[in-house]
Structure 1
Amino acid sequence: MITTPLADGVIDVHAHWIPRELFGLPGTGPHGEMHDRDGELYLGDLPLSIATSSMSDVSAIRADMARADVGVRVLSAPPFAFPLESGSEADAYVRAFNAALTDVVADADGALLGLGMVTLEDSTSATAQMEELAQIEGMAGVAIPPMANGRSLDGPALHHVLSEAARLDLAVLVHPMQLPRPEWSEYYLTNLIGNPVESATAVASLILSGIKDALPGLRICFVHGGGCAPGLLGRWTHGWTMRADVRRAATRPPAEAFGELYFDTVTHDPHQLKLLCELAGADKVVCGSDYPFDMAESEPARFADDHGPGRAALITAALAYLGLPEEEA
């Protein structure tokens, strides 16, 4: 719920924060424990190439916003913090993160908003958590991974979250998890290839399963420009036209539903961002940064303005994604 007037300027919908007291991640997870090592953040033995303070200290976030000409930043947990298991430990972690983020947002005078965390493998807990988020000032919705328990957005766990988000009028941000695969073990390919593939799979799942058709009011954004999805949309449309199994659940060509989704501008390529704007429409492209990661866009407002739909359109699209009227800008 957002009733406080927002600060002026570009809205960055894709940025990360987690307090130091929650560096001990829930469950086993695929990556290992997050920890500080001499001021640098590590995930197990993997260096994240960022200062610990940039992830956990609100003052560092606000300083980066001033430097990058960002008026409002929407904070969510880093993707390796998603609770992929059920149980009391996951529920407690979700409650602790959402409470801490609520406090940060409450002290920001409209410059920071939050996307909360939700338990993924317990539908009862997920519903209760989302109903609570819907009543908290400054919390705009939830951030989720593109898969849970081996299933994409059409699996029972994530489908439930999407249905509840639509019912409660909460925005959803889908962020890839950089899941390891043997063939991606070198050259940071888990990120350079894995993240875009995870995102594209989630977009295809949402469209071809018919979930977006069934939830027309769902406001959902895919980060990193939707990954590979813009480049594959034509292939999906051809498959939908030619194969009954592809179109068995979706009544419309994929391109139609694609234009009803939101995507951020973290594409690292002006040509890719232009293609995204053409396919999704300028009203569905929102500014993102991926702060504070090494794959972030360091000048998100400038890049999105120079190569995307323009500053005014970016703000209007972000307000629509967040469920706010344009006059809130």
Structure 2
Amino acid sequence: MPGIDLHTHLAPRVDEPPVGPPALYRPDLLEEYLDEADLDEAIVTIPPPFFRQGLDEPEARAWVRSVNDGLLRARDGHDRLTPLAYLPLEHPELALDEYERVRDDETWAGLTGAAGGGSSSLAAPELAPLWKALDEDGRMLLLHPGATPDPRLAPFYLTNLLGNPGETALAAAQLVFGDVLARHPGMRFVLVHCGGLLPAVVGRWQRGADTHRPGVPDLSESPRESVRRFYVDCLAHDRAVVDLAVTMFGRDRIVLGSDWPFPMGTRDPRALVAHRGEDFVHRAETRTAQVALGRSGPTVLTARTAASS
């Protein structure tokens, strides 16, 4: 099986000055990184500055079509770079329309959307038709934090260092407590940055459900069970956090992710999980990545095997 990096970025050429690192506009450099890392394929998405979550619906409709078509052009001729189509989750009807526009194009490996920021609550009824369509089609949606709307995080680069992991955990909470994951087992959600703050709060969520805290609904499955439906990349920059993620999500839920070409990423994603052993690394970059993308069947984890993970 090919080795896959499930979290990389390319930017489309649009009618404005370039945004972000110059390498975003160089698919050839992304292929050089794959060669350097001895990987075969990169799953690519537009970077967060291109999410444009503040646009109204008519502007967003034109923008989303432009960036998705532009991403296809950006990777044209680079067959090792496989794109994910962007869905604007802050406009649920538009997100469904865009999915229906791209759903039959096999060039796309799946979809991506913003975790938190300006997105609608992922538990909102307005998103139910989109989840139903993705579930029926067995599609993958990678959630990546965009802008963090909390002004307190402006100093010290905290919008990225703290805000991004928090937005990912918020999106995950909406999916867990909204019972979205349990109701749509046919689709797969991938969380970047090793799940953000999520691994650290699963126990607290479970305690809230066990003690019937106000506002916590009766769920089809417990938070601890539900989070094991997520796939997460390995980009934690800390072995202990990777180990915690394995405990919380399962060893068959961790994939490689570099966040290329951003400084908060890595050029050696294998090194982040190397301490787990060669078999674990190989599984993460091949089998688990293929399952997350819907290219092969999942390995079912029972409660017993999950506990031993």
TM-score by length of 2: 0.87
Matches within 5 A, 1:217-256: 217-256=186-225
Aligned residue number for residue 290 of structure 1: 259
Matches within 5 A, 1:119-268: 119-147=88-116, 149=118, 151-156=120-125, 158-268=127-237
| Alpha-carbon spacing, 1:93–1:279, altered in 2? closer, same or farther (3 Å) | same
Aligned residue number for residue 8 of structure 2: 15
- Find the aligned partners of 1:320 and 1:313 in 2 and give their Cα distance: 10
Letter in 2 for 1:96: S
| Alpha-carbon spacing, 1:264–1:313, altered in 2? closer, same or farther (3 Å) | closer
1:86/1:119 contact within 8 Å kept? no
Aligned residue number for residue 65 of structure 2: 95
| Alpha-carbon spacing, 1:161–1:293, altered in 2? closer, same or farther (3 Å) | farther
Letter in 2 for 1:90: A
The SS at the match of 2:42 is: strand
Report the alpha carbon displacement of residue 174 of structure 1 after superposing the two structures with TM.
Answer: 0.6
| Alpha-carbon spacing, 1:238–1:74, altered in 2? closer, same or farther (3 Å) | same
- Find the aligned partners of 1:124 and 1:221 in 2 and give their Cα distance: 22
Q: Which runs of 5+ in 2 are unaligned?
A: 298-309
2:33/2:267 contact within 8 Å kept? no
- Find the aligned partners of 2:122 and 2:195 in 1 and give their Cα distance: 14
Measured against aligned partners, the alpha-carbon deviations of 1:36-56 in whole angstroms (never above 9, x if no partner) come to 4xxxx55xxxxxxx3x1x111
Report the alpha carbon displacement of residue 122 of structure 1 after superposing the two structures with TM.
Answer: 4.1
The reply to whether residue 318 of structure 1 matches residue 289 of structure 2 is yes
Report the alpha carbon displacement of residue 135 of structure 1 after superposing the two structures with TM.
Answer: 1.2
Percent identity of paired positions between Structure 1 and Structure 2: 29
2:254/2:288 contact within 8 Å kept? yes
Report the alpha carbon displacement of residue 156 of structure 1 after superposing the two structures with TM.
Answer: 4.5
Report the alpha carbon displacement of residue 313 of structure 1 after superposing the two structures with TM.
Answer: 4.0
Q: Which runs of 5+ in 1 are unaligned?
A: 1-7, 25-34, 43-49
| Alpha-carbon spacing, 1:113–1:92, altered in 2? closer, same or farther (3 Å) | same
Report the alpha carbon displacement of residue 150 of structure 1 after superposing the two structures with TM.
Answer: 6.2
Letter in 2 for 1:142: L
CA RMSD of aligned residues (A): 2.3
Report the alpha carbon displacement of residue 128 of structure 1 after superposing the two structures with TM.
Answer: 2.8
The SS at the match of 2:115 is: coil
Question: How many residue pairs are counted as aligned between the two chains?
Answer: 294
1:140/1:322 contact within 8 Å kept? yes
Report the alpha carbon displacement of residue 65 of structure 1 after superposing the two structures with TM.
Answer: 1.5
Aligned residue number for residue 61 of structure 1: 30
| Alpha-carbon spacing, 1:158–1:287, altered in 2? closer, same or farther (3 Å) | farther
Measured against aligned partners, the alpha-carbon deviations of 1:272-319 in whole angstroms (never above 9, x if no partner) come to 001101211111111111111110022113323444732134311110
- Find the aligned partners of 2:116 and 2:147 in 1 and give their Cα distance: 11
| Alpha-carbon spacing, 1:304–1:70, altered in 2? closer, same or farther (3 Å) | farther
- Find the aligned partners of 2:169 and 2:91 in 1 and give their Cα distance: 25
The SS at the match of 1:288 is: coil
2:83/2:108 contact within 8 Å kept? yes
| Alpha-carbon spacing, 1:205–1:87, altered in 2? closer, same or farther (3 Å) | closer
Report the alpha carbon displacement of residue 73 of structure 1 after superposing the two structures with TM.
Answer: 0.4
- Find the aligned partners of 1:158 and 1:306 in 2 and give their Cα distance: 39
- Find the aligned partners of 1:107 and 1:136 in 2 and give their Cα distance: 16
- Find the aligned partners of 2:160 and 2:113 in 1 and give their Cα distance: 17
| Alpha-carbon spacing, 1:305–1:165, altered in 2? closer, same or farther (3 Å) | farther
1:74/1:114 contact within 8 Å kept? yes
The SS at the match of 1:70 is: coil
The SS at the match of 2:36 is: helix
- Find the aligned partners of 1:158 and 1:305 in 2 and give their Cα distance: 38
The SS at the match of 1:139 is: coil
